[in-house]
């Protein structure tokens, strides 16, 4: 798969703000695709933003003094279905709650999801729709004793997550 390339140097040289163009490019990435970004400076603030979205960064200075940064997505699990459960999801109750977090950028979905789970009784099920796989949410769910199962929809553009509430402390 080829890298998606984005050259923000013209935007920067014209005094513009390239953040919207960068996030637009990130949203266009295919699963597992890298973003190759060209900038007039080393974009330090962007590294944490991209890390929060699940990307590692590798920056190198070009001969002309500009910078190239390659953002690589976190490793994708070899199977599309992610599970952490005590019993088969087929035995779970129907979802009692639905959250559409598809417009939120990771890790933002974590707040409404964990907030809702804090109000749920053990065994109740939450269904959440997300814009991408919530890799940073999984450890939080496991630490709190919740079971979950998730996968991408048939188009690969949305991530579906069902969470069965665990015992509250």
Helix (H) / strand (E) containing 14: none
Q: Identify whether residues 86 and 67 lie together within a single domain.
A: no
Residue 128: the pLDDT is: 95
- The torsion angles phi and psi of 21, rounded to 5 degrees, stand at -65, -40
Domain region containing 110: 82-164
Contact 131, 101 (CB under 8 A): yes
Helix (H) / strand (E) containing 67: strand 67-73
Closest to 85 in 3D by CA, of 126, 139, 142, 127: 142
Q: Which residues lie below 8 Å from residue 10, measured CB to CB, with a gap of 6+?
A: none
Confidence at 130, pLDDT banded by 50, 70, 90: very high
Q: How far is CA 27 from CA 5, 141, 150, in A?
A: 13, 25, 20
Q: Identify whether residues 52 and 18 lie together within a single domain.
A: yes
CA torsion sign for 34, 40, 42, 47 is: negative
**What is d(CA 22, CA 42) in angstroms, rounded to the nearest whole number?**
14
Q: Is the pLDDT of residue 125 over 90?
A: yes
Residue 79: the pLDDT is: 37
**What is d(CA 49, CA 107) in angstroms, rounded to the nearest whole number?**
10
Q: Identify whether residues 122 and 55 lie together within a single domain.
A: no
> Among 17, 52, 73, where does a domain finish?
73
- For residue 169, tell me if it sits in a domain: no
Average model confidence (pLDDT) for the chain? 86
Q: Identify whether residues 148 and 107 lie together within a single domain.
A: yes
How many Cα atoms sit within 13 Å of 29 on the Cβ side? 27
Q: Identify whether residues 105 and 148 lie together within a single domain.
A: yes
Q: Identify whether residues 35 and 106 lie together within a single domain.
A: no
Per the structure, the count of domains in the chain is 2
Q: Is 35 helix (H, G, I), strand (E, B) or coil?
A: strand
Tokens, residue 156: 């690969």
Q: Which residue has the tokens 């940073």?
A: 136
> Among 48, 73, 98, where does a domain finish?
73
CA dihedral 12, 54, 161, 131 (to 10 degrees): 10
For the segment 24-82, what is each residue's pLDDT rounded down to a tens digit? 888 888 878 899 999 999 998 888 888 877 888 999 999 999 999 999 987 644 334 56
Domain harbouring 66, CATH code: 3.30.110.40
Residue 82: the pLDDT is: 60
Q: Identify whether residues 67 and 47 lie together within a single domain.
A: yes
Q: Identify whether residues 67 and 87 lie together within a single domain.
A: no
Please give the model's pTM, rounded to 2 decimal places: 0.53
Q: Identify whether residues 59 and 88 lie together within a single domain.
A: no
> Among 73, 96, 111, where does a domain finish?
73
Residue 78: the pLDDT is: 39
Q: Identify whether residues 87 and 107 lie together within a single domain.
A: yes
């Amino acid at each position: 798969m080829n890298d998606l390339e984005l050259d923000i140097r013209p935007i920067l040289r014209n005094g513009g703000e390239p953040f919207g163009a960068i996030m637009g490019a990130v949203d266009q990435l295919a699963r597992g695709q890298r973003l190759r970004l060209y900038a007039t400076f080393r974009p330090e603030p962007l590294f944490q933003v991209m890390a929060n979205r699940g990307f590692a960064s590798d920056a190198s200075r070009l001969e002309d003094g500009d910078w190239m940064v390659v953002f690589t997505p976190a490793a994708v699990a070899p199977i599309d279905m992610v599970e952490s459960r005590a019993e088969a999801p087929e035995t779970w109750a129907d979802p009692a709650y639905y959250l559409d977090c598809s417009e939120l950028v990771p890790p933002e979905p974590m707040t409404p999801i964990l907030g809702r789970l804090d109000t749920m009784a053990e065994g109740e099920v939450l269904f959440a729709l997300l814009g991408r796989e919530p890799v940073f949410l999984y450890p939080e769910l496991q630490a709190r004793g919740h079971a979950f199962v998730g996968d991408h929809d048939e188009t690969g553009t949305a991530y579906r997550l069902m969470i069965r509430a665990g015992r509250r402390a």
